[in-house]
Amino acid sequence: MLSMSTSFMISFLIPMMVMLIATTLSKKMINDREKSSPFECGFDPKSSARMPFSLRFFLIAVIFLIFDVEIALILPIVIIIKSSNLIVWTSATLSFVLILLGGLYHEWNQGALQWAE
């Protein structure tokens, strides 16, 4: 019991110390206008450096990440086919794929997959 509490304390204290040191060292001490402005050959910038972000691009990126995670969940299904009951495996796989296809149909129906209008 003593070793478990010791290991818990060590696993809690070391990351806390690392985060504290990183926070302390990463702070900028001098807030200079020239250093915080975008670099444009030493001249003042002609326009804002912050470009408007495309919401369509963000939506496509989020959909890609969601379906990418779903692919990562589908891959182990093929591996466990030998060690599981075939009826249970088929029903679980079929329901998972149908939920994915339903989500894809919903995104398609809402127009989220159309890049240009």
Q: Which residue has the higher pLDDT, 28 or 21?
A: 21
Please give the share of the chain, as a percent, with pLDDT higher than 70. Answer: 74
pLDDT of the residue at 117: 61
Q: What is the mean pLDDT of residues 98-117?
A: 83
Q: Which long-range contacts (CB under 8 A, 24 or more apart) does 99-108 make?
A: 100/67, 100/70, 103/66, 104/67, 107/63
pLDDT of the residue at 23: 83
Return left, alpha or beta for 41; rule: phi > 0 is left, psi -120 to 50 is alpha, else beta: left
Sign of CA pseudo-dihedral 79, 84, 90, 91: negative
pLDDT of the residue at 79: 86
Scan for tokens 């299904």, then name that residue.
77
Domain ranges of the chain: 2-36, 55-110
pLDDT of the residue at 87: 93
Scan for tokens 């994915």, then name that residue.
100
DSSP tag of 82: T
Q: What is the mean pLDDT of residues 31-53?
A: 64
Q: Which residue has the higher pLDDT, 17 or 38?
A: 17
Give the pLDDT confidence of 48-91 residue by residue, as tens digits: 666 677 777 888 888 888 888 888 888 888 888 888 899 999 99
Please give the share of the chain, as a percent, with pLDDT higher than 90. Answer: 17
